[in-house]
Structure 1
């Protein structure tokens, strides 16, 4: 896709009520998840979806929030890391991938069960909502032509 494409549609102005509701949902979903884990989940879903706008925004936020550059460098290959991510983070990243790629076979029971070992029901519910909302933002940015800027 051409990076010079202008914004196709500004949903914040043409669909104000829905956009405002999504902003409130995002705030509620993000509030229930550890900040570092939220950063990792947002970036990983954005990597899978190929959303340059969200990758730029959330990588910048993660660095400001104190996530080490090394963790961001290897996030796309998290399965090939040793000791970089906690067991809970690994479970959350796998859940993120399965939910993001839900059309490829759903969310396997073992993936959900592994995440449930590391998070309370409330934390798992918040994590799922965070995964849902970042996937929505990715789709909005890609569909409307938002791009990372130099």
Structure 2
């Protein structure tokens, strides 16, 4: 497999700078980076983005995440290794990623569970992180970005 666009990052350099600026904002925001990696991993699994799954596993490992938890992200509902805030974040991420599956987007009960664990600033950052990883997934899937090539 090879990337469809060899020069995607340079041909759309200004757009990539904007996307990376959003990532910088999120890294410095109120949501812990370990949770951001887990949420991005889950969304990437849903979207079938092999490049992003690989990248977020590597980033989470560098951050000290255990292999047991990383292997359990896809089955977070049954896994016993996640906290209630992490579960609420996964549920919000899944719901916002599969937005077309619900008649009115993210259901109120999902949002309310997230509100039980996160304040306004944290929820704002989580929503931006979920939107960003969905955008990155779509870029990488459309481009068929080669998994294992992560080097940021």
Scaled to the shorter chain, the TM-score interval is over 0.9
Structure 1 unaligned runs (5+)? none
Q: State the distance in 2 between where 1:81 and 1:102 align.
A: 24
Q: Kindly tell me: are residues 81 and 149 of structure 1, through their superposed partners in 2, closer, same or farther at Cα, counting changes over 3 Å? A: closer
How many residues are paired up? 145
Alignment of 1:34 with 2:32, yes or no, is yes
Contact conserved, 2:43 with 2:94, CA < 8 A, in 1?
yes
1:104 corresponds to which of 98, 101, 105: 101
Alignment of 1:58 with 2:56, yes or no, is yes
Contact conserved, 1:36 with 1:67, CA < 8 A, in 2?
yes
Alignment deviations for residues 10-36 of structure 1 (CA, whole Å, 9 cap, x no partner): 331111211111111121123222011
Contact conserved, 1:30 with 1:130, CA < 8 A, in 2?
no
1:8 corresponding residue in structure 2: 4
Tell me which stretches of 4 or more aligned residues in structure 1 moved more than 3 Å. Answer: none
For normalisation by structure 1, the TM-score amounts to 0.92
Contact conserved, 1:12 with 1:20, CA < 8 A, in 2?
no
Q: CA deviation at 1:41?
A: 0.4
Contact conserved, 2:55 with 2:148, CA < 8 A, in 1?
no
1:93 corresponding residue in structure 2: 90
For normalisation by structure 2, the TM-score amounts to 0.91
Q: CA deviation at 1:7?
A: 1.3
Contact conserved, 1:38 with 1:130, CA < 8 A, in 2?
yes
Q: State the distance in 2 between where 1:95 and 1:127 align.
A: 9
1:76 corresponds to which of 74, 77, 80: 74
RMSD over equivalenced CA pairs, Å: 1.2
Q: CA deviation at 1:145?
A: 1.5
2:17 corresponding residue in structure 1: 20
1:134 corresponding residue in structure 2: 133
